[in-house]
């Protein structure tokens, strides 16, 4: 035997035993795919299996439990190999419902003894019932899962502890912090993530809902201004509460509101109608009382009249003395005004009763509008000679209405229209005392080419205010002052009653001709004369102030062919009368052009005949005074005159009239 070989083998065995006895080479050995071994620091044992114990729950006192309260619990497992030895560094992932885990993914590593633990808390401290959790261990690709562990959730017994206000005595509108802690009533341990709601008998919070944090701390800011934006004052209770949590309270004392600003807050001008204007019998203006920019409610404000017509009253009908009113919940002071019968500016002053240096004056307030009066009803037209052969040729009728004192009537005053021929807009409504309608040509077309249009509106008769009170008093005359034949001022009766549309222009109502009639009046007072401008039916007048006012207009529906009369050309003048019908009752349509062209047939006398327009208009005028057919025929409105120069017998003149539709009428006239 080779003793050297034996001795070498023995030495190797001895060395191995020696190393083992010194702990060298200890630990698990996991065979990899290549047959190599990797140490895991646990005696060299190969891990062939991963085992995991059932879950055990421990409370805060490290006592086993099967229920979880708001204070939370700890879940523990142990991970071992096939020999029952703990595996270090294994990943254990916990999962379950109704709870939240101590790590975001619910996973932890085992310690050197193979133990893994994680904290759990209820997702909602008020949740109750039975739930399950489980855990899965994973080590080098090998895993094991526990059986589900059943436990119960118990609702928390949370209280709100130590609620205080940083400042219990506040100025109106000021702020203070409210603090408290959320605590487990049984364990006295502060609890986080508890939702607390704040409310108050008056006031607001920022925020109003707070979740406790940092050892159960809860802080909010209270402001002594209500949710409606109004200031708080006096003693108020602040409440804190939560789901299944007893309410906690603290009181604050808020100083009385100190108003320091009054503002006139009526934004638009206030233009009141006089008492009998037909407008509203009253109007309102508004002031707003503030305390540091916030409306101040329930404060005394003195209201007084600074200037106004002597018959205006305020606050209540007939009152003209200082009155004290309280600001409403929005800090507003509303003042009602009652106009009388006289116009004029109005100025109202509001003063804080507790501080007369705080005041404001109204602005842009006046009594200025009354009903339209008989002599304040004015009509005008864009033109009144329309083209009879052109459907739709139109004229604008403008209305202007004023009251007795010269102010525009209230907006919305309605004026009605009717027409003998064509078509007219039935009514218009005034803005600033004005409105307009349109008359257009269409059938029916009156045979005499003259169309009567009647306008009427509710208003007041013209009267002479003999006592100067701007108010009609019984017995005062419905009249106007005119000069008689001697130049003396006398009263002319203007009383009006029922009226009609005077189609035949004879100043009297003719039922047989089907003339339109408007019946309204009753009485036996003497009426004024009926005229073309203002038709009136005798025997229908009364002594009342109110009446339906009326104005009548005449229009020409003119033909497009000219009629010439009284044509002469001699000496230094050429003249003729121009009409648009053979009855000579209407002018040519507005816009027609008139021309005179000389033909100088006596050139050998070294003279050059010319004609210059000196009377009449070309184009034809827009508006004519149509009067009656007879007076129009004989008026100078139809006369055209030309000044002739250097004309001699033998010269000729071409007189041409071109209607707006292009129709031309021509005559040839010889100089005499």
What's the pLDDT tens digit per position in 409-440? Answer: 988 999 999 999 999 999 999 999 999 999 99
- Classify residue 8 by its DSSP letter: H
* Rounded Cα gap, residues 647 and 611, in angstroms: 9
List phi, psi (to 5°) of 21.
-65, -25
CATH number of 374-557: 2.60.40.10
Measure the CA–CA gap between 389 and 387, rounded to whole angstroms. Answer: 6
pLDDT band at 22 (very low <50, low <70, confident <90, very high): very low
Alpha carbons 21 and 54: distance in angstroms, whole number: 36
Among 223-237, 307-321, 486-500, 573-587, which stretch is predicted with the lowest mean pLDDT?
A: 223-237
pLDDT tens for 323-371 read 999 999 999 999 999 998 888 899 999 999 999 999 999 999 988 878 9
Residues 6+ positions from 170 with CB-CB distance below 8 Å: 176, 224, 252, 253, 254, 255
- How far is the CA of 658 from the CAs of 43, 584, 592, in angstroms? 131, 18, 5
* pLDDT band, residue 293 (cuts 50/70/90): confident
Dist. CA 473–CA 464, nearest whole Å: 10
For strand 51-52 and strand 56-58, is the pairing parallel, antiparallel, or unpaired? unpaired
Contact 397, 438 (CB under 8 A): yes
Q: Is 198 helix (H, G, I), strand (E, B) or coil?
A: strand
What is the domain class of 158-254 according to CATH? mainly beta
Question: Are residues 240 and 195 in contact, defined by beta-carbon separation less than 8 angstroms?
Answer: no
**Over pLDDT 90: what percentage of the chain?**
70
Give per-residue pLDDT as tens, 151-201.
988 776 888 989 999 999 998 888 999 999 998 887 788 888 888 999 999
**158-254 with 560-670: one CATH topology?**
yes
Phi first, then psi: what are they for 412, rounded to 5°? 90, 5
pLDDT tens profile 24-47: 333 343 444 444 444 444 445 677
Query: What are the boundaries of each domain within the chain?
Result: 51-153, 158-254, 268-369, 374-557, 560-670
In whole angstroms, what is the distance from residue 523 CA to residue 526 CA? 9
CB-side exposure of 11: number of CA atoms within 13 Å? Answer: 6
| DSSP per-residue codes, 202-245 | S-EEESSEEE-BTTTEEEEEEESB-TTSPBP-EEEEEEEEETTE
Q: What pLDDT band is residue 278 in, cutting at 50, 70 and 90? A: low
Q: What is the pTM of this model?
A: 0.60
- pLDDT at position 461 over 80: yes
Residue listed under structure tokens 């004023």: 402
The topology (CATH level 3) of 268-369 is Immunoglobulin-like (2.60.40)
Stated as kind and residue range, the H or E segment containing 67 is strand 67-68
Tell me the helix, strand and coil percentages in the chain, rounded to 5: 5, 45, 50
Higher-scoring residue by pLDDT: 289, 44: 289
What's the token pair of residue 600?
């100088």
Q: Which CATH class is domain 51-153?
A: mainly beta
Helix (H) or strand (E) run with residue 180 in it: strand 175-184
> What confidence score (pLDDT) does residue 362 get?
95
CA atoms within 13 A on the CB side of 352: 22
Measure the CA–CA gap between 521 and 110, rounded to whole angstroms: 111
What local confidence, expressed as pLDDT, does residue 658 receive? 98
The pLDDT, as a whole number, for residue 123 is 86
Give the 3-state secondary structure of residue 643: strand
**What pLDDT is recorded for position 9?**
40
| C-alpha to C-alpha distance for 215 and 200, rounded to whole angstroms | 25
pLDDT band at 8 (very low <50, low <70, confident <90, very high): very low
Question: To the nearest whole number, what is the mean pLDDT of the chain?
Answer: 89
Query: Is the per-residue pLDDT at 557 higher than 80?
Result: yes
- The CATH code for residues 560-670 is 2.60.40
Query: What pLDDT score does 45 carry?
Result: 61
Q: Are 186 and 270 in contact (CB under 8 A)?
A: no
């Amino acid at each position: 035997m080779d003793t050297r070989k034996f001795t070498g083998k023995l030495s190797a065995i001895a060395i191995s035993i020696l190393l083992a006895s010194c702990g060298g080479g200890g630990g698990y050995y996991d065979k990899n795919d290549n047959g190599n071994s990797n140490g895991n620091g646990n005696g060299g044992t190969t891990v062939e299996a991963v085992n995991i114990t059932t879950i055990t729950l421990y409370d805060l006192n490290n006592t086993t439990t099967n229920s979880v309260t708001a204070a939370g619990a700890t879940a523990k497992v142990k991970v071992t190999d096939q020999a029952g030895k703990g595996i270090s560094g294994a990943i254990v992932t916990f999962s379950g419902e109704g709870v939240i885990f101590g790590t975001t993914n619910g996973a932890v590593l085992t310690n050197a003894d193979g133990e893994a633990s994680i904290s759990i808390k209820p997702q909602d401290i008020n949740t109750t019932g039975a739930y399950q959790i489980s855990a899965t261990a994973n080590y080098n690709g090998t895993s094991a899962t526990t059986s589900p562990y059943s436990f119960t959730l118990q609702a928390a017994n949370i209280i709100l502890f130590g609620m205080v206000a940083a400042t219990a005595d506040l100025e109106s509108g000021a702020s203070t912090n409210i603090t408290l802690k959320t605590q487990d009533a049984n364990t006295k341990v502060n609890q986080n993530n508890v939702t607390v709601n704040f409310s108050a008998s008056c006031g607001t919070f920022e925020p109003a809902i707070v979740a406790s944090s940092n050892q159960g701390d809860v802080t909010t800011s209270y402001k002594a201004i209500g949710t409606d934006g109004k200031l708080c004052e006096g003693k108020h209770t602040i409440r804190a509460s939560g789901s299944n949590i007893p309410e906690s309270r603290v009181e604050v004392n808020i100083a009385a509101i100190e108003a320091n600003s009054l503002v006139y807050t009526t934004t638009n001008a206030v233009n009141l109608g006089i008492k009998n204007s037909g407008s509203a019998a009253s109007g309102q203006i508004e002031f707003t009382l503030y305390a540091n920019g916030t409306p101040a409610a329930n404060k005394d404000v003195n209201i007084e009249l600074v200037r106004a017509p002597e018959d205006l009253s305020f606050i209540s009908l007939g009152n003209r003395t200082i009155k004290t009113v309280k600001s409403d919940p929005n800090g507003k002071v509303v003042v009602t005004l009652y106009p009388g019968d006289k116009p004029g500016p109005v100025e109202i002053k509001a003063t804080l009763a507790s501080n007369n240096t705080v005041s404001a004056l109204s602005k842009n307030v006046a009594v200025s509008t009354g009903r339209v009066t008989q002599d304040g009803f004015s009509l005008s037209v864009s033109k009144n000679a329309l083209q009879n052969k052109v459907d739709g040729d139109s004229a604008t009728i403008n209305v202007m209405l004023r009251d007795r004192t010269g102010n525009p009537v209230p907006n919305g005053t309605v004026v009605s229209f009717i027409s003998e021929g064509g078509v007219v807009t039935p009514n218009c409504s005034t803005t600033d005392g004005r409105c307009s309608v349109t008359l257009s040509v269409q059938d029916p077309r009156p045979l005499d080419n003259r169309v009567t249009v009647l306008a009427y509106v509710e208003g007041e008769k013209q009267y002479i205010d003999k006592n100067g009170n701007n108010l009609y008093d019984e017995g005062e005359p419905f009249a106007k002052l005119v000069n008689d034949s001697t130049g003396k001022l006398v009263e002319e009766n203007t009383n009006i009653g029922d009226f009609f549309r005077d189609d035949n222009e004879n100043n009297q109502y003719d039922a047989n001709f089907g003339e339109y009639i408007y019946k309204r009046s009753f009485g036996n007072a003497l009426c004024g004369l009926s005229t073309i401008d203002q038709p009136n039916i005798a025997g229908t007048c009364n002594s009342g102030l109110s009446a339906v006012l009326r104005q009548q207009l005449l229009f020409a529906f003119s033909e497009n062919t000219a009629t010439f009369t009284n044509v002469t050309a001699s000496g230094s003048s050429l003249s003729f009368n121009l009409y648009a019908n053979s009855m000579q009752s209407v002018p040519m349509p507005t816009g027609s052009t008139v021309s005179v062209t000389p033909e100088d047939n006596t050139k050998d006398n070294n003279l050059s005949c010319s004609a210059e327009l000196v009377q009449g208009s070309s184009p034809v005028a827009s508006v004519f005074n149509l009067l009656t057919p007879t007076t129009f025929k004989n008026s100078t409105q139809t006369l055209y005159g030309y000044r002739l120069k250097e004309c001699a017998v033998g010269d000729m003149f071409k007189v041409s009239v071109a209607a707006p539709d292009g129709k031309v009428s021509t005559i040839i006239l010889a100089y005499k």
